[in-house]
Amino acid sequence: MVRYVCRHCHRQIGQFEGAWSDPQLGLQDLTAAEQQEILEVRPPDTTVWVKTLCERCLPVPWMEELWYN
Ligand SMILES: [Zn+2]
């Protein structure tokens, strides 16, 4: 399970029933440093939180493919 949360207002943006490494999410294409910055695993489950920005907090489109998952 992957959940997207806004790093600014903490609103949950969306979720994806699958692995964070699913190629359609594009998260694997990030550099290791970027992954460390935006991905967070919260035990005990294996949900990966993706810290991003929602459309209200977003000044410019950035990593557009993430918004609609
Ligand atoms: Zn926000």
Task: Find the 42 Cα to ligand 1 centroid distance in Å.
Answer: 20
Task: Find the 55 Cα to ligand 1 centroid distance in Å.
Answer: 7
Strands 48-52 and 2-6 come out as: parallel
pLDDT tens digits for 27-48? 999 999 999 999 998 777 789 9
Nearest to 68 by CA among 54, 51, 58: 54
**What's the full length of the chain, in residues?**
69
Q: What is the pTM of this model?
A: 0.76
Distance CA 25, CA 2 (A): 10
Query: For residue 52, what are its two tokens?
Result: 């991003």
Distance CA 49, CA 54 (A): 14
pLDDT of residue 69: 44
Task: Find the 28 Cα to ligand 1 centroid distance in Å.
Answer: 23
Task: Find the 21 Cα to ligand 1 centroid distance in Å.
Answer: 24
Task: Find the 54 Cα to ligand 1 centroid distance in Å.
Answer: 4
Domain layout of the chain by residue ranges: 2-64
